[in-house]
Amino acid sequence: MLTWKNILTIADKGTPAPDRTVRKTDQEWRVQLTDEQYRVTRQHNTEAAFSSDMCSLFEPGIYACVFCATLLFDADDKFESRTGWPSFTQPIKENTIAYHGDNSLGIRRIEALCNTCEAHLGHVFPDGPEPSGLRYCMNAVALKKVETSLEKATFGGGCFWCTEAIFEQLRGVDSVESGYSGGHIDNPSYRAVCDGTTGHAEVVQVMFDPNEITYKDLLSIHLSTHNPTTLNQQGADKGTQYRSVIFAHNDEQETIAEGIIEELQDAFDEPIVTEIKPFEVFHKAEDYHQDYYEKNSNAGYCQAVINPKLEKTKKLFKEKLKD
């Protein structure tokens, strides 16, 4: 989870590279955009407050850049700021927004741009609700609500290097991020989590398309590729950060999780101790943890621990794997 301190650091040191880039000439933008869209997004202006009904829309969904369709914000992170502009507490991914220092009004502000096409979106302020404390104050003309079937799932089951590698193999999974959930401090470091002082579990947050793979499928794969009967331990990895846990994002996920645990219990000799907790906050782990297996597949831990889990996944769930 990004905080104001993170935003200031990124603005000073540079934004992480986007997943893709879209570049057009000024004339091409003028042809594509309305006069107001061009004025706001290409000339870095601001639309009039309360000029869009987007401020009062809070139905579930995803908000994308109106120009390049990059997914920017989840409606779950939208809130009523009473400022006259759509406001969010977090972007969908840390590399979707670029941050630049802006001194145009004689004070330092942080400008937010689409990291894909460089469209001016608005500004970020440190006066939003907890736990992030951020308010992404966005111009409605720069956003569009898109039809998407993607849903979120958050699981813990030992070292997140293993869990991430498994879910990245699955058809219908759009993205997987390693991080921390279930603790009592904001933005924990890996070292603090490993010390066991923060209460967090190592988890992965999965964006998936339920039309291709169901939440129940994900749970079944998760519970079958780690040991859900060992308390606070997976193999040689011991500690509460390695606990088996499901963070449910809604009542439906909680009900499905309870059902699949009951359904799979007979497959295990010992009681399943997997916790089911309501999801609260996901803190993305440090960059070197992301896509760890993909970057370090020849490392000893990957060979000894992750590879056998991947082989088991292929054996049990071959029909669920990406081509």
List residues with catalytic annotation.
Answer: 137, 159
- 289 in Cβ contact with 178 (< 8 Å): yes
* Closest by Cα among 127, 67, 126, 64 to 96: 64
* Closest by Cα among 78, 109, 96, 95 to 4: 109
* Closest by Cα among 101, 177, 97 to 136: 97
Write the DSSP symbol of residue 169.
T
Please name the amino acid found at residue 231. L
DSSP characters over 147-174 = ----EEEEEEES-HHHHHHHHTTBTTEE
- 249 in Cβ contact with 154 (< 8 Å): yes
Residue tagged 């609260």 (tokens)? 280
